[in-house]
Amino acid sequence: MNALKLGVAGAGVMGRNHARVANDMREFDLMAVFDPDGVTADGVAAAYEASAYTDLDAFVASGIDAAVVATPNRFHADTAVALLERGVHVLVEKPIAPTVAESQRIIDAARANNRVLMVGHVERFNPAVETVKRAIADDEIISIQITRVGPFPPRMGEVGVVIDLAVHDIDIIRHLTGSEMAEVQSLLGHTHASREDSALLQFRMDNGTIAHITTNWVTPYKTRTLQVATKSRFVVADLITRQVTEYFGQQPDGSYSTRMLNSWPNEPLKKELEAFATAIKTGDAPAVTGEDGLRNLEVALRCLAE
């Protein structure tokens, strides 16, 4: 099949990353870049010999087959719906939208126009997460603990740590357990900002697994760790270095055997875009559906409301 003609809406940090990765993929032909800032749009488009657009309607009508929506969150619904109604397949960055109603509007537009809608929860494609999921596939999960902390990102302007960071881990927990959050408890901290910049989130899943997320913007260095305890093993993953360690075979003296698990050095964003292209070409459900994005948002909003 011919390469899909791709557009990128929003030429900020994530939009530029999508453009960079997609430009080197045989599945896509990067044709169009949209950003209301003309200098930004022109700069990114010129780097990849694409056409630049500052008008959304012109971008939507540019003849693209698929688009990545990486605009600020408040524009996700209007941008995604306009594309879907034009018959364009859409990968919308996380979170899917600011509200449940806007998220449902995007999902409904994809369904009405029979287009693929995928949500960009890129940590699903982190090789370390994939390795952990394989390691625990035949085991009963007891608990999951995720730490995602670091300094305040200057780019951040609209949301706090729950929507920006913890939503990644809500998705990971749902992905690993295949279950939904039945109970939610949250403690939020506001140190230097009107929005929360630290959060401790606890969950009990429908299947009984308990989970905990620690996240903040007040730690001077980045940490991204995933720990999963099952009936027979304990698996620890560093989501930055992609190193995964399994502890198993507890002895009477309390000691364990350990082994390193292979985690392939794939770029998660490339794997995500490959999954998007595959869903378009096969007609199968995408790896992260619009409904997944909505569920993740609903849980994050519950955390903020607690």
Reading the chain (306 residues) residue by residue, the pLDDT tens digits are: 689 999 999 999 999 999 999 999 999 999 999 999 999 999 999 999 999 999 999 999 999 999 999 999 999 999 999 999 999 999 999 999 999 999 999 999 999 999 999 999 999 999 999 999 999 998 999 999 999 999 988 765 678 999 999 999 999 999 999 999 999 999 999 886 678 999 999 999 999 999 999 999 999 999 999 999 999 999 999 999 999 999 998 888 888 899 999 877 789 999 999 999 999 999 999 999 999 999 999 999 999 997
- The CA distance from 31 to 19, in Å, is 10
Residues in the chain: 306
Residue 297: burial class (beta carbons within 10 Å; 0-12, 13-18, 19+): buried
Looking at CATH, the fold of the domain delimited by 124-268+301-305 is given as Dihydrodipicolinate Reductase; domain 2 (3.30.360)
pLDDT of amino acid 93? 98
pLDDT of amino acid 193? 66
3-state secondary structure of 66: strand
Helix (H) or strand (E) holding 295: helix 290-305
- The CA distance from 73 to 158, in Å, is 8
Beta bridge partners of 54: none
Q: Collect contacts of 156-161 with beta carbons under 8 A, ≥24 apart.
A: 156/217, 157/72, 158/72, 158/73, 158/74, 159/73, 159/195, 160/188, 160/193, 160/195, 160/196, 160/197, 160/199, 160/304, 161/196, 161/197, 161/198, 161/199, 161/215, 161/216, 161/217
Domain with CATH 3.40.50.720 in the chain: 4-115
pLDDT of amino acid 158? 73
Helix (H) or strand (E) holding 131: helix 127-135
Nearest Cα neighbor of 215 from 228, 195, 238, 198 is: 198
- The CA distance from 80 to 105, in Å, is 9
Assigned CATH for 4-115: 3.40.50.720
pLDDT of amino acid 156? 59
Domain with CATH 3.30.360.10 in the chain: 124-268+301-305
pLDDT of amino acid 64? 98
